[in-house]
Structure 1
Amino acid sequence: MESILIKTAQLLLSLSILVVLHEAGHFMFARLFKTRVEKFYLFFDPWFSLFKIKKGETEYGIGWLPLGGYVKISGMIDESMDKEAMKLPPQPWEFRAKPAWQRLLIMVGGVLMNFLFAMVIYIGVLYAWGEQYLPTENVKYGVVVNDTGEQIGFKTGDKILTVDNQYIEQFSKIVPTIVLDGAETVQVERDGRKVDVEITGEDLALLLKSKGIWEERIPYDINIGRLAKDLPAQQAGLEVGDVLGDVDGKSFDYYNQFISYLGTKKGQEITIDITRDGQKMTKTLTVNEDGKMGFNAAFNNPEGIFDYKTIKYGFLESIPAGINRGVQTTGNYLKQFKLFFKKETKAYESLGGFATIGNIFSPTWDWAHFWNMTAFISIILAIMNLLPIPALDGGHVMFLFGEMITGRKPGEKFLEYAQIAGMILLLALVLYANANDIIKMINGTF
């Protein structure tokens, strides 16, 4: 429960920051071109607001419906649907009275702010924390593959070499590269031989739905890190720091072999050798019905086992590195977005709502992770807002480009109907995405 509250708090803080900055982008360009802004709100305020204050011509406030935010710009058909004001003659301070190029900058101001803010975050993160990753070549014990990975064609013990014969430096980027680049083969070392694992469209669909297909295989060199209360390990007298040895006289090379063996002994008694303060002893316990003993493993220096690579950046070095990360993240998200239009990937089934977004945050408060995720969401918001859907910035931009090309403004009645249609479509997408989350929770696949 605590982890859910922490994730929720991070999600609300992140979205609040991004919404305010997005709307500030519209606000600044509107004020630059002497366009009146009637309202500037974090969250929506149908019927009432939680807080509001008026300064000059603008009312600033916080709404009660946390689905975004808005600025109400005079003379513009937007979420407020203020049709009465649009019936009056245009005034010099209104949006509709401004030249097309000024209206275009006002509309793209929010998207520009999101992109720039993401770059600034990445620069700050790299400067403050640097970058740490596991090189693919250092995953020297191979991978432990789950059911989805086996279905695709991978096997536990495979050492991942290349994707479409291209080496991927960061191990964590191998699966995203397979999905986003539509890889056709993955080269692995299996039993001393190089093997090609073919990737089909159906495999890509499985990858999109899965939380992961493998993890690094770790040697069976573990201590007890934490004991769960009233579960077999504690009841048998095991203690934090005990070094695990043979089980039922069987030795293991890798931790996954130990876990697999426990899975075959559900509800059965086992004997386990341990070493405590240099003294060897044997304990007897009964594995629970989940195939667990009830402790968290403390691996003996896993970072040393895998030899992580750490890169530190000076301030000047962090600027191009942060911009490059922002550009790469944008490119990768655009590749991911294109998957929704490929029928064989069934990417639409993986579309998630607020629970999915919240789940990308850490269950503990980690500022480095928080800012990385906030930058990522900022890029998502920028791209999504550029979609040519009425009610989004991209829809307004689409009509403005049409006006700039043809020299004719769309009729206000047409814009009004388009705005309504766009809002209905967006509501349907939000409902669909959050329904997907609910279905995943019911099915236990979230």
Structure 2
Amino acid sequence: METLIMVAQLLLGLSILVGVHEWGHMVAAKAFGMRVEKFSIGFPPKIWGKQFGETEYSIGAIPLGGFVKITGMIDESLDTKNMSAEPEPYEFRAKPAWQRLIVMMGGIIVNVITGIIIFIGLALANGEAYLPKEELNKHGIIAYDLGEQLGFQTGDKILSINGQDYERFSDLLSPDLLLGSDNYYTVLRDGKEVRVDMPNDFIDKFADKKNRVNVIAPRWPFSVESVAPGSNAEKGGLQAKDRITSINGQPIQYFDELSSSLDNLKGAVASFGVLRGGEEINLEIAVGEDGTIGFYQNRELDYVSRDFTFGEAVGEGTYNAFAVVWLNIKGFQKMIAGDVDVRKSLSGPIRIATFFGGTWDWNNFWRIVGLLSMVLAFMNFLPIPALDGGHVMFLTWEIVTGRKPSDKFLENAQKVGMVILLSLMAFVIINDTISILPF
């Protein structure tokens, strides 16, 4: 069922993104009097189609893209049978270069607008909540395996990043930081300042999904929120609002200390020191084979939360949308520099589906769609023939030099671009498949 939900979200997300992208091309073309023969979401074979005016609207069976066929344009269909005849006034090739440029930019522009609108909507709906530096450093961090490899230790208090102050916990592993170079942290450990350096290829390890929660986390004191019915905790007398202060005489202040102690007491009965209503009591509680006793914790950390006004949401959403583009640029720089493994950085439809998750969460769905909309705009702007950016490159050349590339040149460039794109698609699909194999 989880797989079906992931696939359904992927198909819906791609349909929205491809639909608005191709709509951008079509609207611009029609605005300049160009004939649009076909508008398709998905690639052939066609499973549905209907003619409205001069345009056939259809849905293809392969939901990994779409296309708009504009008369007189050399596109991925490579239909050039009428290109030797004199162009008709309604053809793409008969229009001024600036109009053709706007048509080719139409999909990119609409994807950018779509991404911005989605991020504005998310900011308006959700506001923001974050753990400020001051609250984080009351208790320090938990260093997991990958964090320890970096050089962190549990209990460290992080003072600065690259010698600069920071505002919130999320800044410590922000995408902008991970995609940077020569980064370091200054931490307070046992009363001394210590430098922790981040290797330039650290993002390779972080890119592995299972590692993203395996670096650092805020350290938190806790109390008992509720006790699971029938659990060992209930049988041992633990109650809501209790505070566990020790296990077998060892002091407990933070939840990671509790987890570590329970892992070493699996299947045993332990003596729990508990603070209840100002009174210290002792309880004998059996620890399960999974290292738990059966209660829900209350994390005692003070997060800052606030709602955005519409004006603030516009600013926040726009910033977040363009931050995606900037991070893609930095990611490409990392790949070119050899700091990032291409196999871990490029995702195809299989891995993208896992980003949506196996439960239908509309907030997460729109966040992923907004992100993909900006990524699609960025990728389409790359100067590769067969992408919009390839057409933009040739049209810009024509506008600047006054010389139009020949139809034969454009046809051959389109063929080269298609080979590049198909090869890239094959690579990411194979790479995705390998990444989800259990070995």
The bucket for the TM-score relative to the shorter chain is 0.7 to 0.9
Aligned to 2:354: 359
* 1:7-406 equivalence runs, <5 A: 7-45=6-44, 48-139=45-136, 140-175=138-173, 176-209=175-208, 210-212=211-213, 213-223=215-225, 245=244, 246-248=246-248, 250-265=250-265, 268-271=267-270, 273=272, 281-288=283-290, 292-293=291-292, 298-300=296-298, 302=299, 305-361=300-356, 363-406=358-401
Q: Is the 8 A contact 2:179 2:330 kept in 1?
A: yes
Q: CA deviation at 1:277?
A: 11
Deviation string, structure 1 residues 253-312 (Cα, Å, up to 9, x no partner)? 22222333344456x434364989999753325414xxx4485x6321x3xx32222232
- CA–CA separation in structure 2 for the residues paired with 1:144 and 1:440: 28
**Structure 2 portions without partners, runs of 5+:** none
Q: Is the 8 A contact 1:243 1:274 kept in 2?
A: no
Deviation string, structure 1 residues 7-31 (Cα, Å, up to 9, x no partner)? 3333322221111111111011100
1:154 alignment partner, SS class: coil
Aligned-residue Cα RMSD (Å) equals 3.1
Call closer, same or farther: CA 1:346–1:126 in 2, change over 3 Å. same
Aligned to 1:417: 412
1:166 alignment partner, SS class: coil
- CA–CA separation in structure 1 for the residues paired with 2:161 and 2:139: 18
Call closer, same or farther: CA 1:112–1:236 in 2, change over 3 Å. same
TM-score by length of 2: 0.87
Deviation string, structure 1 residues 389-445 (Cα, Å, up to 9, x no partner)? 11110011111122223322222222222222212212222222233333332257x
- CA–CA separation in structure 1 for the residues paired with 2:297 and 2:169: 20
Q: Is the 8 A contact 1:361 1:369 kept in 2?
A: yes
Q: Is the 8 A contact 2:242 2:276 kept in 1?
A: no
Q: Is the 8 A contact 1:241 1:276 kept in 2?
A: no
- CA–CA separation in structure 1 for the residues paired with 2:239 and 2:35: 65
- CA–CA separation in structure 2 for the residues paired with 1:405 and 1:294: 72
- Percent identity over the alignment is 39
Matching residue's letter, 1:381:
L
- CA–CA separation in structure 2 for the residues paired with 1:207 and 1:293: 28
Call closer, same or farther: CA 1:263–1:235 in 2, change over 3 Å. same
Q: CA deviation at 1:55?
A: 0.1
- CA–CA separation in structure 1 for the residues paired with 2:92 and 2:163: 54
Call closer, same or farther: CA 1:385–1:353 in 2, change over 3 Å. same
Give the aligned length. Answer: 430
- CA–CA separation in structure 2 for the residues paired with 1:330 and 1:92: 37
Q: Is the 8 A contact 2:235 2:285 kept in 1?
A: yes
